[in-house]
Structure 1
Amino acid sequence: RPRPPVRSSRGGKVPLRLSRELSARLEELARRRGATLFMVLLAAWQAVLARWSGQDDVVVGTYSGNRPRKELEGLIGFFINTLVLRTGLAGEPSFAALVDRARETALEAFAHGDLPFEKLLDVLQLPRDPSRTPLFQALLVLQTFPAARVDLSTGVRLRSMAVAGEKSDYDLALWLGEGAEGLGGVLEHSTDLFDAATAERCAAWLRHLLEAAVADPERGVWTLPLIPADEQARHLAAWSRGAEVPAGPELLHRLVEEQSARTPDRVAVEAGAVHLTYAGLLDRAARRARGIEPGTVVALSAERTPELIVALLAVLQAGAAYLPLDPAWPRARRERMVVEAGAVVAKDDKVAKDNNDPALPGFPVSLLSLPTLSSFSSPQSPAYLLYTSGSTGHPKGVVVPHRSIASFVRGAVADHGLAPGDRVLQLASLSFDTSGEEIWPTLAAGATLVLRPEEMTGSIPHFLRELERLAITHLDLPTAFWHELAAGLEVEEAALPRALRVVLLGGEEALADRYALWHRRAGSSVRLINTYGPTEATIVATRRDLTGLAPGAPVPIGRPIPGARAYVLDHHLHPVPPGLRGELWLGGAGIAQGYLGRPDLTAESFRPDPFAAGGARLYRTGDLALLTPAGDLLFAGRADRQLKIRG
Structure 2
Amino acid sequence: MATRYRWRHGDIVARAEELAAEIHATGGEERRVVALECGRGLPSVVALTAALLAGQLPLLGSGADPAGRRERLREVAGAALVVSTSPDGEPLVAPCDAAAAAVAPWPQAVYLAVTSGTIGEPKVAPVSRGVFDSYVRDIQDAYALTAEDRVLQFAPPGFDVFVEEVIPTFRAGATLVVPPWEHAPTGEQFLGFLDAEAVTVVNLPGSYWMGLAEYLRSSGRGLPASVRLVVVGSEPWARTLAEWARGRFPEVKMLNAYGTSEVAPTCFIFDCEDLPKACASVGIIPIGGPLPFVRHEVVPQPDSPHGRLHLAGQPHFGSAQSAIDSGDLASHGADGFVYVHGRADLTRLKRGGVTVNAESLAGAARECYGVLGALARLDRKSGALVLTVQSTGTPDTVARLVSDHLRTVLPPAWLPDRIQVASGLAQVAGTKLSTVSVEVELESLVRAAWSRRTASHAVDPQADFFDTGGDSIGAVRLCAQLSDALAERVPVQLIFANSRFADFVEAVGALLRSRSDRPEGRA
TM-score range, shorter chain: 0.5 to 0.7
Match of 2:308 in 1: 583
Measure the CA separation in 2 of the matches of 1:278 and 1:434: 18
Does 2:337 align with 1:632? yes
Written as runs of structure 1 = structure 2, the 5 A alignment for 1:114-193 is: none
Match of 1:28 in 2: none
Q: Which amino acid is the alignment partner of residue 431 of structure 1?
A: G
Match of 2:9 in 1: 278
On the 8 A contact 2:44/2:157 being kept in 1, the answer is no
1:222-273 CA-partner distances (Å, limit 9, x unpaired): xxxxxxxxxxxxxxxxxxxxxxxxxxxxxxxxxxxxxxxxxxxxxxxxx932
User: Residues 476 and 350 of structure 1: is their aligned pair in 2 closer, same or farther, counting only changes over 3 Å?
Assistant: closer
Match of 2:195, SS state, is helix
Q: Structure 1 regions of 5+ residues with no counterpart?
A: 1-270, 359-375, 592-612
1:298, distance to aligned residue in structure 2 (A): 0.8
On the 8 A contact 1:302/1:324 being kept in 2, the answer is no
Written as runs of structure 1 = structure 2, the 5 A alignment for 1:206-221 is: none
Does 2:171 align with 1:448? no
Match of 1:536 in 2: 262
On the 8 A contact 2:297/2:310 being kept in 1, the answer is yes
On the 8 A contact 2:6/2:178 being kept in 1, the answer is no
Larger Rg: 1
Match of 2:328 in 1: 623
1:492, distance to aligned residue in structure 2 (A): 1.2
Measure the CA separation in 2 of the matches of 1:301 and 1:277: 23
1:275, distance to aligned residue in structure 2 (A): 5.3
Does 2:108 align with 1:384? no
Written as runs of structure 1 = structure 2, the 5 A alignment for 1:217-616 is: 272-273=3-4, 276-291=7-22, 292=24, 293=27, 294-343=30-79, 344-346=81-83, 351-356=93-98, 381-454=108-181, 457-522=184-249, 524-550=250-276, 553=282, 554-571=284-301, 580-589=305-314, 616=321
Measure the CA separation in 2 of the matches of 1:315 and 1:331: 21
Does 2:347 align with 1:642? yes
Measure the CA separation in 2 of the matches of 1:639 and 1:350: 41
On the 8 A contact 1:565/1:587 being kept in 2, the answer is yes
Match of 2:275, SS state, is coil
User: Residues 564 and 403 of structure 1: is their aligned pair in 2 closer, same or farther, counting only changes over 3 Å?
Assistant: same
Q: Which amino acid is the alignment partner of residue 355 of structure 1?
A: D
On the 8 A contact 2:300/2:307 being kept in 1, the answer is yes
1:342, distance to aligned residue in structure 2 (A): 2.0
Measure the CA separation in 2 of the matches of 1:494 and 1:527: 18
1:405-433 CA-partner distances (Å, limit 9, x unpaired): 22211111111011112101101101101
TM-score normalized with structure 1 length: 0.47
User: Residues 419 and 392 of structure 1: is their aligned pair in 2 closer, same or farther, counting only changes over 3 Å?
Assistant: same
Q: Which amino acid is the alignment partner of residue 254 of structure 2?
A: L
Q: Which amino acid is the alignment partner of residue 486 of structure 1?
A: A
Measure the CA separation in 2 of the matches of 1:457 and 1:284: 26
User: Residues 582 and 511 of structure 1: is their aligned pair in 2 closer, same or farther, counting only changes over 3 Å?
Assistant: same
Measure the CA separation in 2 of the matches of 1:314 and 1:637: 37
Match of 1:604 in 2: none
On the 8 A contact 1:557/1:635 being kept in 2, the answer is yes
Measure the CA separation in 2 of the matches of 1:543 and 1:506: 9
TM-score normalized with structure 2 length: 0.58
Match of 2:389 in 1: none
1:377, distance to aligned residue in structure 2 (A): 11
Measure the CA separation in 2 of the matches of 1:622 and 1:346: 32
1:398-455 CA-partner distances (Å, limit 9, x unpaired): 1122222222111111110111121011011011011111111111111111112217
User: Residues 563 and 276 of structure 1: is their aligned pair in 2 closer, same or farther, counting only changes over 3 Å?
Assistant: closer
Measure the CA separation in 2 of the matches of 1:464 and 1:536: 33
Measure the CA separation in 2 of the matches of 1:402 and 1:467: 33
User: Residues 529 and 297 of structure 1: is their aligned pair in 2 closer, same or farther, counting only changes over 3 Å?
Assistant: same
1:315-370 CA-partner distances (Å, limit 9, x unpaired): 11222111233122111101111122221124798854453489xxxxxxxxxxxx
Match of 2:165, SS state, is helix
On the 8 A contact 2:313/2:320 being kept in 1, the answer is no
Match of 2:265, SS state, is coil
On the 8 A contact 2:51/2:57 being kept in 1, the answer is yes
Measure the CA separation in 2 of the matches of 1:321 and 1:449: 22
On the 8 A contact 2:40/2:182 being kept in 1, the answer is no
Question: What is the RMSD of the two structures over their aligned residues, measured on CA atoms?
Answer: 3.2
1:479, distance to aligned residue in structure 2 (A): 0.6
On the 8 A contact 1:424/1:472 being kept in 2, the answer is yes
Measure the CA separation in 1 of the matches of 2:133 and 2:4: 30
1:523-582 CA-partner distances (Å, limit 9, x unpaired): x2110010111101111111111124249653010111121112111259xxx9xx9521
1:635, distance to aligned residue in structure 2 (A): 0.9
User: Residues 357 and 302 of structure 1: is their aligned pair in 2 closer, same or farther, counting only changes over 3 Å?
Assistant: farther
User: Residues 615 and 566 of structure 1: is their aligned pair in 2 closer, same or farther, counting only changes over 3 Å?
Assistant: closer
1:144-170 CA-partner distances (Å, limit 9, x unpaired): xxxxxxxxxxxxxxxxxxxxxxxxxxx
Q: Which amino acid is the alignment partner of residue 620 of structure 1?
A: D
User: Residues 277 and 504 of structure 1: is their aligned pair in 2 closer, same or farther, counting only changes over 3 Å?
Assistant: closer
User: Residues 321 and 379 of structure 1: is their aligned pair in 2 closer, same or farther, counting only changes over 3 Å?
Assistant: closer
On the 8 A contact 2:57/2:111 being kept in 1, the answer is yes
Measure the CA separation in 1 of the matches of 2:185 and 2:340: 30
Q: Which amino acid is the alignment partner of residue 510 of structure 1?
A: W
Q: Where do 4+ consecutive residues of structure 1 move more than 4 Å?
A: 274-277, 346-351, 376-380, 613-616
On the 8 A contact 2:151/2:174 being kept in 1, the answer is yes
Q: Which amino acid is the alignment partner of residue 507 of structure 1?
A: S
1:643, distance to aligned residue in structure 2 (A): 3.4
1:378, distance to aligned residue in structure 2 (A): 13
User: Residues 280 and 588 of structure 1: is their aligned pair in 2 closer, same or farther, counting only changes over 3 Å?
Assistant: closer
Measure the CA separation in 2 of the matches of 1:518 and 1:276: 30
Q: Which amino acid is the alignment partner of residue 446 of structure 1?
A: G
Measure the CA separation in 2 of the matches of 1:491 and 1:542: 31
Match of 1:543, SS state, is strand
Match of 1:495, SS state, is coil
Measure the CA separation in 2 of the matches of 1:346 and 1:447: 26
1:106-143 CA-partner distances (Å, limit 9, x unpaired): xxxxxxxxxxxxxxxxxxxxxxxxxxxxxxxxxxxxxx
Match of 1:335, SS state, is helix
- Paired residues, what number? 333
Measure the CA separation in 2 of the matches of 1:353 and 1:633: 45
Measure the CA separation in 2 of the matches of 1:394 and 1:590: 29
On the 8 A contact 2:300/2:308 being kept in 1, the answer is yes
Larger CA deviation: 453-462 vs 414-423: 453-462
Match of 2:273, SS state, is coil
Match of 1:439, SS state, is helix
On the 8 A contact 1:486/1:515 being kept in 2, the answer is no
